Amino acid sequence: MNAQTNNTLSILRVGLVLLALGMATTLWGQANPPAAASAPAADPVLSNPEYQRLYNDAAVALQKKDYAAALGKLDELDKAFPNAINAVNLRGAVYTEQRDFAKAGEAFAKAADLDKKAFPPRFNIGEVLFLQKKYAEARAKFEALQAEDSKNDLVRYKVFLCYLAAGEKEKAEKVLGEFNFAGDLPAYYFAHAAWEFAKPTPNLEEAKGWLESAGNIYSQQANLLFVDSLVELGYLKREEAKKP
C-alpha cells in the first residue's frame, strides 16, 4: 500500500470500526462507516499519557457498544483536554452509533471547525447525511473532498453510491467507469457489486462474485471500509457483511 492508502486506513480505523461492527460506514465505517480523526501530528496532546488512556478507553467502550462509558470517558477528556479534535470526532462517532444524527452532526461540525483541513470530520459530516438518506447533500460533501484529492477512491465510492441510491443511474455509471481496478483500496470491486445489486432485477451471483474477489485480493481492514455502505443501502444483510 502507498502512503495515501495507509493514511486513509489510519484516520478512518476507529470511526469505521463502529460502522463495520455496528450499524453501518465508512463514518467511515460505517463507517460505511463516520471516521475517528487523528489529531495533527504536531499536537502535543497526542503524547500525553492521560489523554491517550482516556481516548483509548472511550474507543474500546465504543467498540463494545457501551455508549454510556464511552461518553463518560469523553466527558473526562473534554474537561482535561478541551477541544481536542479527535476526541470531539469520536464523540460524533458514538452519537452516530446511537443514531442520534443531530448530535453527531454537531460534533463533527465542531471538529471540522477546529481544523478546517481535517479530512475525517468532514467525511463524517457527509456520512451522517448519507445515513439519513439525504443523498444529494451527502454527495455535495463528498464531492468537495474529492475536489481536494481526486485519487481518493473511498470518497469516489461514496459519490457513486449517492448517485446510485438517488436513482441517478447515468451519473452513477459515469463514476463507475472512473475506478481503477488495480487501486490500493477495493473500491472498484465494491462499486461493481453495488451496481449489480441495484439493477431492477438484482444480479446477486455477479454482485457476490465481485465481493469475493475483493475479499481474496484485499485485507479485511480495507474491505471493512466499504462493505457497510452496502448494508445501509439494503443490498446486504448484516450477517452477510460479517462473513469472511
In order, the DSSP letters of 111-147 are HHHH-TT-HHHHHHHHHHHHHTT-HHHHHHHHHHHHH
pLDDT of 67 strictly over 80: yes
User: What is the per-residue pLDDT for 126?
Assistant: 97
74-90: pLDDT as tens digits? 999 999 999 999 999 99
Q: Which domain holds residue 109?
A: 3-241
Cα 191 from Cα 239, distance rounded (Å): 20
Cα 161 from Cα 171, distance rounded (Å): 10
Across all residues in the chain, what is the average pLDDT? 85
Report how many domains make up the chain.
1
User: What is the per-residue pLDDT for 238?
Assistant: 76
**Highest-confidence segment of 46-60, 185-199, 214-228:** 185-199
Segment 141-153 mean pLDDT: 96
Question: CATH code at 236?
Answer: 1.25.40.10
Segment 135-161 mean pLDDT: 97
9-49: pLDDT as tens digits? 433 433 443 333 333 344 543 333 344 444 344 567 778 99
Cα 28 from Cα 204, distance rounded (Å): 25
151-193: pLDDT as tens digits? 999 999 999 999 999 999 999 999 999 999 999 999 999 999 9
Helix 3-21 vs helix 49-63: angle between axes, to the nearest 10 degrees?
50
**Stated pTM of the model:** 0.83
Lowest mean pLDDT among 14-28, 93-107, 202-216, 217-231: 14-28
